[in-house]
Amino acid sequence: MRETPTVKKGDVVLSMRHIAKYFPGVKALDDVQLDLRAGEVHALMGENGAGKSTLIKVMTGVYERTSGTVTLHGQDINPKTPQEAQDLGISTVYQEVNLCPNLSVAENVYIGRQPMRFGQIDWHRMNADAVKLLESLDIHVDVTKTLDSYSVSVQQMIAIARAVDMSAGVLILDEPTSSLDSNEVAQLFAIIRHLRDQNMAILFVTHFMDQVYAISDRITVLRNGRYIGEYLAKDLPELDLVTKMIGQKFVDANTQAHRPSKDYSTVRFVRMEDISKRGLVHDFSMAVRAGEVLGLAGLLGSGRTEVAELLFGVTHFDDGVIYVGNDEVKRMNPRKALADQLGYCSEDRKVSGIVGDLSIRENIMLSLQAKKGLRRIPLKKQQEVAQKYIDLLDIKTPSMEKKIGDLSGGNQQKVLLARWLATDPKLLILDEPTRGIDINTKREIENLIVKLSRQGMAIIFISSEYEEMVRTCDRIIVLRDRHAVGELTDNQISQDNIMKVIAGGVAQ
């Protein structure tokens, strides 16, 4: 790794000018600029598909830019690969974690730069170093286990740890917090502040407004691939920021999703009774009625996702009973769940969500088609359905025949939502459905959830964002350590109470 020239706080370290990046049919970036300064945290803001990730990929050599210049410490650079960018001192955590799931945690942290001893990898030292590094970020894992034995959020923290460890001068974080809970976010911010004080230049992408203002000094806004402006965070109130992002007066920043009326039916559509799965969930019971939004709250690893996966039959329970309608289900699997009119929009869109090489249309139709069986839904009908959801969820794409893999992260998430809405389920399980979705669309999705429940759909809503849960849920079951520890209804529902119950207290 090369030496970083000494820099003073506020010096421009990295500068991008007149950057353009065209994909077939899309001008992802058009005359964009960006300046990163030493000792500052810079937030890159914009709606889904605005071009944030593309700008980062252009900077770090994942994509070749169509035109424009990038200078680092005053010198033109043109890295051809992320490795080259890394060697120049630009360390990046991309939006989609791309580590190796079947290598150990330690190997992932040190891949490509393993400590050597007598011409061989020094496993002992590598594992010890990894433990030390991860502990310093408050991540407590067995570094010899494979990466995929840990949740997305832990993987995300490991990716961050790796980047932080390698960083020299510039650190880029593309939506690092989208799968983290508040403790982990606090952890991460402590690290970022520490690095900033060491005169590192840091670029940070997020859709959480509070995080932007908590950590960043400067903000660059992009809209539709164009540069809108650079501002000091303290000079740009949130409302103005949002207006710049979406390009019109942002009417109501705090629209409450309408709390549904209480007239949902008393018919319990799905019941889980004393469901257990060794090591994952312990004695969990719940019932969800048509027309209600039931929230599952809890810290990461509390068993929220596990409950969803057991209910949908992705994993199988050891003990207990599930009833769908009046039928007892001995063994659930996704195909049966689909036939029983359940839907499950899973947490990890890359691993268990998108089918990257298929088109947006095919991805939207996937579950509806699976439900219909071999008989192909006529193309015309497919196009109608796909178009309906592209409009409804404002999916930004030049054509529904584009590969879903080429969409921006947030737009991929919308396609997955569309996939399940298209099946018209009676119970829809949403696990972090708004992850990576911009603030405006997020509100629209919240409203949609409430509206669907009003029309009689039962919804199970899982989110790390308690604010979002409070706005949409009728009832919240709180989980801790893999079992339910409390339930909140009506006016008990508040962020405070959720946190109290999680912490072991009683709601009031």
Partner 1 sequence: MNQVKQKLKGFMQHKEAWAVIGILIVLLFNVFFSPKFFQISFNNGHLYGSIIDVLNRGSSLVIVSLGMCLVIATRGVDISVGSVSAVGAMVAVFLLKSAGMAAAPAILCGLLAGLACGVWNGFLVAKLNIQPMIATLILMTVGRGIAQIISGGQILTINSKAYAFLGRGYVFGIPFPTIIMILVTLGVWLLTRKTSLGTSIEAVGINETSARYAGISTTQILWIVYIICGLLAALSGMIESANVSSADGNNNGLLLELDAILAVVLGGTSMDGGKFYLAGTVIGALFIQTLTTTIYTFGVPAETIMVVKALVVIFVVLLSTDRVKNAFAKLTERKKAGVENAG
Ligand X SMILES: Nc1ncnc2c1ncn2[C@@H]1O[C@H](COP(=O)(O)OP(=O)(O)OP(=O)(O)O)[C@@H](O)[C@H]1O
Site residues for partner 1 per CB under 8 A: 312, 314, 334-335, 337-338, 344, 346, 351-358, 362, 366-367, 369-377, 419
Amino acid at 289: R
Which of partner 1, ligand X, Mg ion, none does residue 302 bind to, with CB < 5 to 8 Å depending on kind?
none
Contact 413, 396 (CB under 8 A): no
Give the residue with the Cβ less far from partner 1, 94 or 312: 312
Give the residue with the Cβ less far from Mg ion, 44 or 106: 44
Which of Mg ion, ligand X, partner 1, none does residue 51 bind to, with CB < 5 to 8 Å depending on kind?
ligand X
Interatomic CA distance for residues 83 and 231, integer angstroms: 31
| Six-digit token string for 449 | 């959830």
Contact 502, 480 (CB under 8 A): yes
- Whole-number minimum distance, CB 56 to ligand X, in Å? 8
* Total binding residues toward Mg ion, as defined by CB under 5 A: 5
How many C-beta atoms lie closer than 10 Å to residue 316's C-beta?
A: 12
Listed in sequence order, the residues at least 6 apart from 156 whose beta carbon sits closer than 8 Å to its beta carbon are 93, 97, 176, 179, 180
- Bridging pattern class, strands 458-462 and 293-297: parallel
Give the residue with the Cβ less far from ligand X, 407 or 469: 407
| Six-digit token string for 244 | 């710049």
* Maximum CA extent, the chain: 73
Dihedral in degrees, nearest 10, Cα atoms 410, 416, 418, 423: -170
Contact 103, 146 (CB under 8 A): yes
Which of partner 1, ligand X, Mg ion, none does residue 351 bind to, with CB < 5 to 8 Å depending on kind?
partner 1
Listed in sequence order, the residues at least 6 apart from 496 whose beta carbon sits closer than 8 Å to its beta carbon are none
Give the residue with the Cβ less far from partner 1, 276 or 315: 315
Residues forming contacts to ligand X in the complex (CB under 6 A) are 23, 26, 28, 46, 48-54, 95, 396-397, 406-411, 436
CB closest to Mg ion, residue no: 53
Which of ligand X, Mg ion, partner 1, none does residue 23 bind to, with CB < 5 to 8 Å depending on kind?
ligand X
CB burial string 465-477: b at 16+ within 10 A, e below: bbebbbbbbbbbb
Which of Mg ion, partner 1, ligand X, none does residue 411 bind to, with CB < 5 to 8 Å depending on kind?
ligand X
Listed in sequence order, the residues at least 6 apart from 201 whose beta carbon sits closer than 8 Å to its beta carbon are 13, 14, 36, 37, 38, 39, 40, 42, 169, 170, 171
Rounded alpha-carbon distances, angstroms, from residue 463 to 11, 87, 458: 39, 37, 16
Give the residue with the Cβ less far from Mg ion, 222 or 299: 222
- Whole-number minimum distance, CB 204 to Mg ion, in Å? 12
Give the residue with the Cβ less far from partner 1, 32 or 354: 354
- Whole-number minimum distance, CB 152 to Mg ion, in Å? 16
- Whole-number minimum distance, CB 267 to partner 1, in Å? 24
95 near Mg ion, judged by CB under 5 A: yes
Which of ligand X, partner 1, Mg ion, none does residue 301 bind to, with CB < 5 to 8 Å depending on kind?
none
Give the residue with the Cβ less far from ligand X, 418 or 460: 418
- Whole-number minimum distance, CB 436 to Mg ion, in Å? 7
User: Of 205, 178, 195, which is closest to residue 55 (Cα–Cα)?
Assistant: 205
Which of Mg ion, ligand X, partner 1, none does residue 344 bind to, with CB < 5 to 8 Å depending on kind?
partner 1
- Whole-number minimum distance, CB 377 to partner 1, in Å? 8
- Stretch in the footprint of Mg ion (CB under 5 A) among 23-31, 88-96, 446-454, 489-497: 88-96
Listed in sequence order, the residues at least 6 apart from 127 whose beta carbon sits closer than 8 Å to its beta carbon are 106, 143, 144
Interatomic CA distance for residues 468 and 462, integer angstroms: 10
Which of ligand X, partner 1, Mg ion, none does residue 153 bind to, with CB < 5 to 8 Å depending on kind?
none
Give the residue with the Cβ less far from ligand X, 368 or 437: 437
Give the residue with the Cβ less far from partner 1, 145 or 372: 372
53 near Mg ion, judged by CB under 5 A: yes
Which of Mg ion, ligand X, partner 1, none does residue 50 bind to, with CB < 5 to 8 Å depending on kind?
ligand X
H or E stretch at 497: helix 495-502
Contact 357, 332 (CB under 8 A): no
Task: Give the interface with Mg ion as residue ranges (CB under 5 A).
Answer: 52-53, 95, 408-409
